[in-house]
Amino acid sequence: MVLLGLDPGLRNTGWGIVEANGNRLRYIADGVIRSDGRLSLALRLAQLHEGVVAVIASHHPDEAAVEETFVNMNPVSTLKLGQARGAVILAPALAAIPVSEYKPNQIKKAVVGAGHAAKEQVAMMVRMLLPGCLAATADAADALAVAICHAHLRATSQRLAAAVVGRRGAAP
């Protein structure tokens, strides 16, 4: 199962690709899609969307996961981040790729074990969990963390669903 992790941002959107086989993860690729700050908001959003479309075309992920937007003190920044997130999520959605969303603390807890871990701790754990991982930028490391979180929580969700189905099918 090839998983795409996305860390949306208006300036820089991180992306990471991992392969999940049971509880084993394999690093495939990562990078950052940058928008040109001199362009209008609409054109910057188009750049982000086109960048994710290109990543999908190159790596053919089966599923995608994205970090949920956190609300910061500046409402204008929060709104722009939400718009960037929408442009980024649209790419896998239009490609009929299921998209899951995770809270930042949920991602940190899945990767580091603590929901309030520092970015440096997340990046270090990503490199430990994915040997050969480049994660040259914090945005790429965060995107890989989203993919790792999805791989772990996806597997758990599948096991729970199978258990529930098994109970329903069992004789009373």
* Annotated active-site residue in 19, 62, 63, 67: 67
φ and ψ of 84, to 5 deg: -60, -40
139 catalytic? Reply is yes
Contact 9, 135 (CB under 8 A): no
7 catalytic? Reply is yes
* Annotated active-site residue in 30, 63, 139, 142: 139
φ and ψ of 99, to 5 deg: -120, 125
* Annotated active-site residue in 7, 30, 63, 142: 7
Q: How far is Cα 27 from Cα 5, in angstroms, rounded to an integer?
A: 12
CA-angle at 141, arms to 92 and 15, nearest 5°: 20
Instruction: Please identify every residue annotated as catalytic.
Output: 7, 67, 139
